[in-house]
Amino acid sequence: MRLKRKVALVTGGGQGVGRGIALALATEGAAVVITGRTESKLKDTAAEIAGRGGRAHTVVGDVCERSDVDHMVAQTLREFGALDVLVNNAQSSVQRRLEQTSYDDLELAYRSGPLATFHAMQAALPWLRESRGSVVNLGSSTAVQGDPTFASYAMAKEAIRGLTRVAAREWGTYGIRVNVICPAALSPAAELYLTAHPEHAERLAADIPLGRLGDPEEDIGRAVAALVSDDMAYLTGATLMLEGGRTLIG
């Protein structure tokens, strides 16, 4: 129960990596607010947390909208009275080759990724200063590797890493830690993609020294729980590669 009496806000917490992180934080004792666009998915995650004896609250909203992001933070404070951990997980994008990538593709990736992350961090700052809290932003090994067909996504994820480093320097004086994780996990989106592209699934497995994609809760969520706990209190501005060693081989 390393996170007992802590309050966490996880965007995109209804499925995949976000769900895994929310479950792991709740298991460690945190009260968790999970947000996303699909209420049924949020309710399912919240019910699972409650079934384990944890506390969860759901907020429906779109991180592309600044007013929705402000509402997510406000609801966290109204429900639990504090904010100690912010996890910016939500992200939308489309896959196309670089020459086919449009401005609309870039706008979608940027609005849901670095701009949403920026807005959430700004909205949460007063409360994170009060709690000397922790921010975890989501990067991607796909961006680090420069995988083909991921131009808009890679651009957005690397922008998030730049934002994270600046925040780590500026907010360290407040006692706030800001880090990035780059996960490779078997989320529903990853599963759909790999099912549709079996040749890529084989290549990906061969590129991961540990031989598998991570589990969203056991491999990614538990690492985030450790990262935001006092056990990692001296780490900020870092990128934690949670991808089974994939970027060692690319």
Whole-angstrom distance, CA of residue 110 vs CA of residue 105: 9
Q: Is 153 a catalytic residue?
A: yes
3 state DSSP class of 47 = helix
Whole-angstrom distance, CA of residue 177 vs CA of residue 179: 7
Within 13 Å, how many C-alpha atoms sit on residue 209's CB side? 9
CA 215 to chain CA centroid, nearest Å:
14
Largest CA distance in the chain: 50
How far is CA 208 from each of CA 11, 65, 183, rounded to the nearest angstrom? 27, 36, 12
Among candidates 92, 83, 111, 79, which has minimal Cα distance to 36?
A: 92
Catalytic residue among 103, 110, 153, 174: 153
Among candidates 248, 227, 226, 223, which has minimal Cα distance to 237?
A: 227
Within 13 Å, how many C-alpha atoms sit on residue 138's CB side? 27
Check residue 64 and give left, alpha or beta (phi > 0: left; psi -120 to 50: alpha): alpha
Residue 71: count of CB within 10 angstroms of its CB: 16
Whole-angstrom distance, CA of residue 155 vs CA of residue 147: 11
Which residues are part of the catalytic machinery? 153
